[in-house]
Amino acid sequence: MPKKPVMTGGSWPVRFGTAELALDLDRPTGWQLMVDGTPQSYVDLEDPTHLEFEYVRLLADLVDGVGAPGAPITAVHLGGGGCTLPRYVAAMRPGSTQVVVEADDLLVEVVRKHLGTTGFRLRVGDGREALGHLSPSTSDLVVTDVFVGAQVPSAFATVEFAREAKTVLKSDGVYAVNVADTGVLPFARGQAATLLEVFEHVAVLADPGVLRGRRFGNVVLGASDVPFDLDHLRRVTARTIGRARVEDGARFRRTASPCWDADPPVAPLPPPEVLSAGR
């Protein structure tokens, strides 16, 4: 039984900067995790189904469609932060088997001590390398939400990496990834093309303003060899606050080409005002 976390705010030096936990004054059990001032995660310790960041809600919409509703799943999460999505899965799908891989060993210790790890195992390691140690065809879900600072590392954005992620998935498994882009969305469209090189189907979920190029923001992509119910996704993403757009990845990619290890893409950096407000 995991120890109950000791919940106090504060800041700590970690491998890739300085981590800070700040209490949400509007939610007495809500905590925001920041690294070098960039919001990374939001965790409500008493209500893990509360998802403060919209892109995490979009990831959860994809996760909700994996397998039978409410049934336990086997999931791999690359990129830990405060482990918001694994906590959500543990609450919504009791009995799930989850492993989270986070590269920052010092951040892992902060999360273990102050936020806890109930419902999942939290490991230190490189996410891409970790995939090679997992048994093939055993996971219902693989999620990649990896940022170095505010930028997606190129090693997690290529066809070869997508193939490695697919290897650990069951035949009907889902791969979900969070990226960020702006303007005509060249990076996000390239990621859709990359996933379509590996999977039969890709769904794209994002705020309409992001998809129209009006602002920098998150784009969530889901990939699978089983078709997504796009109409259902459109219904569930039509929430009271905000309405996401859902697009078919083949249409979204336009003329973008897949990205390969030999010529990896460079993810865009957000403008300073986005960093201060959070992704």
3-state secondary structure the chain: CCCCCCCCCEEEEECCEEEEEEECCCCCCEEEEEECCEEEEEEECCCCCCCCCHHHHHHHHHHHCCCCCCCCCEEEEECCCCCHHHHHHHHHCCCCEEEEEECCHHHHHHHHHHCCCCCCEEEECCHHHHHCCCCCCCEEEEEECCCECCECCHHHCCHHHHHHHHHCEEEEEEEEEEEEECCCCHHHHHHHHHHHCCCCEEEEEECHHHHCCCCCEEEEEEEECCCCCHHHHHHHCECCCCECEEEEHHHHCCCCCCCECCECCCCCCCCHHHHHHCC
Give the tens place of pLDDT for each residue, 125-168: 999 999 999 999 999 999 999 988 778 999 999 999 999 999 99
Give the tens place of pLDDT for each residue, 112-128: 999 999 999 999 999 99
Domain residue ranges in the chain: 49-262
Whether 6 has a pLDDT exceeding 70, the answer reads no
Q: Which of 5-19, 68-82, 87-101, 172-186 is predicted least confidently?
A: 5-19
CATH number of this structure's domain 49-262: 3.40.50.150
pTM of the model: 0.94
